[in-house]
Amino acid sequence: MGIVCAATVLAACSSSTSPSQVRDVNVDVAFVGCDVVKCADTINGAPYEIVMPTKWNGTLLIYSHGYRGAQPEPPSFEPVETTPEPAPGWGSGIKGLGQALLDQGYAIAGSAYASNGWAVADGVRAGEDLHSFFVSNIGTPSRVYVWGDSLGGLITEQLAEKNPEWVAGAAPLCGVLAGVLPNYDLALDVSFAVKTLIDPDLKLSGYTSYEDAVRTLTAASKKVIAAASDTKGGGTAKVIYIASLVDAPHQTQRFDGATLTSKVSGYTEAIITALGFGTLGRYDVERRYNGNISSNEGVDYAARISNSDAELVDAVSPHASKGFTARLQAGVRVVADPSARAAALAEGGDPQGQVHAPTITLHTAADPLVIVQNESFFRARYRVQQAKGNVQSDLVQLFTVAPATYPGTSGAPFGAGHCNFTPESRLAVISLLDHWVREGIVPTGGLLTHALPPAQTGYEPLYEPGPWPEPAAVAVRS
């Protein structure tokens, strides 16, 4: 793979970013206020909200929120969200982070999307529309930074790659940066393994209704939970094996993985999370793209299980791992609908790693929903594009790691769980990005540990995620 920079700070291996020529220190840029312009309304079916500071520093932050269910989801079945989100938590009334950014002089803005679910194309359109509206009605930004969480991280990168003329910096957080097909293929791997080893009645695709998908998820989840407790009958070993296939983390926000019981509980949560992705999420994408988008044709499941994985499985259930692998290898594979797969590739998010502006990513090391290897996938594509001369800036990737132990009642303070960052971490990323864009200060080394004190944020400069579980998926489009 070549030389890997310490702390996966790729900027240290590249010097494509020269000192900024902007150096704009104006902290009182003129704008038209929200008493004159509608700062909360709808554009092309997407509700938006813009919030201006008392004094504007000329920087506009456009935030893209994460995945929202197209229909009420179990177990609570709460109404779907449709509120705009100009900063993380803002739409649900948690405004501290957004207010801190306003106090620093940033303009904050965000949209809901015209649809919920895997609405990547709608999210990109909403971000572009919001930028156009702001420029036409409120003021001309000196710089625009795009940022977002989870699915919003994917939307953020798509916005940045598509709009280099106005995106000055990007910060995809806990982003689905491998894109739609690799992540849904990986969810299929989990479902396929659960069907083969635990629940032969599990339907893998073609749900007739949302209720059908909910029933499928509910039934399969119960069987996975029962299997996890079945130490003598081999169920526990099956759960460990399935998690190992997709490099699922043994930690989650609730389980620290410090004991075998906690580790199996973490694996169980990760598998059920993937099943939700592969049932409720799959129902949405199959309707959106008119067919099954996933395939496991040609996947060598034997190559997915390392010696250490097999040893752990066999320690729980002697000599079981080879039998599990044989059953998977012999299983009838799933074939994708080519037109649906092509539509998903075109509209569902497929970042190519063409980094045009300073980009900082942040990911928890133990993410059971969007596995941290999404960052490895994106990094590999970035390096391919860098070798081709198709990048104009550097990529800095940051990771937070959870403590070795933590009580389930309070959960991990950071580092484990999906998008489980401290507010200070998010503010630090924006500050680092701003100094990089305005002053040419590429965030490396001591600058990072100062901005993200490890004891308070979980930042680990030496953490390096493993490769994407299916190497063939990483190839870029020509």
Write out the two tokens for 120.
Answer: 């990547």
- pLDDT of 10 reads 46
Q: Name the residue range of residue 239's domain.
A: 181-344
CATH number for the domain spanning 450: value is: 3.40.50.1820
> Of 303, 324, 344, at which residue does a domain stop?
344
Condensed to tens digits (0 to 9), the pLDDT of residues 387-407 reads: 999 998 899 999 999 999 999
Assess whether 128 and 24 both reside in one domain.
yes
Q: How many domains, the chain? A: 2
- pLDDT of 76 reads 84
Condensed to tens digits (0 to 9), the pLDDT of residues 152-192 reads: 999 999 999 999 999 999 999 999 999 999 999 999 999 99
Assess whether 211 and 234 both reside in one domain.
yes
Assess whether 36 and 51 both reside in one domain.
yes
Assess whether 403 and 432 both reside in one domain.
yes
> Of 344, 372, 389, at which residue does a domain stop?
344
Strand partners of residue 59: 143
201 within a domain of the structure (yes/no): yes
Assess whether 111 and 252 both reside in one domain.
no
Q: Is 163 exposed, middle or buried (0-12, 13-18, 19+ CB in 10 A)?
A: middle
Write out the two tokens for 441.
Answer: 């200060």
- pLDDT of 25 reads 65
β-pair type (169-173, 359-364):
parallel
Assess whether 339 and 355 both reside in one domain.
no
Assess whether 325 and 373 both reside in one domain.
no
Other CB atoms within 10 A of residue 18 CB: 8
- pLDDT of 23 reads 53
Assess whether 237 and 173 both reside in one domain.
no
- pLDDT of 9 reads 44
d(CA 157, CA 382): 12
Assess whether 14 and 156 both reside in one domain.
yes
- pLDDT of 471 reads 81
**Dihedral class, residue 461 (left if φ above 0, else alpha if ψ from -120 to 50, else beta):** alpha
Q: Which of 113, 8, 2 is CA-nearest to residue 378?
A: 8
Residue with tokens 């489980």: 420
The whole-number mean pLDDT for each consecutive block of 10 residues of the chain, a chain of 478 residues, reads 37 39 69 95 97 97 96 87 94 94 98 97 98 97 98 98 98 98 97 98 96 97 97 95 96 96 97 96 97 95 95 96 97 96 97 97 98 97 95 95 96 97 97 96 95 97 95 75
- pLDDT of 16 reads 39
User: Does residue 165 contact residue 256 with C-beta atoms inside 8 Å?
Assistant: no
Write out the two tokens for 92.
Answer: 């649900």
1 within a domain of the structure (yes/no): no
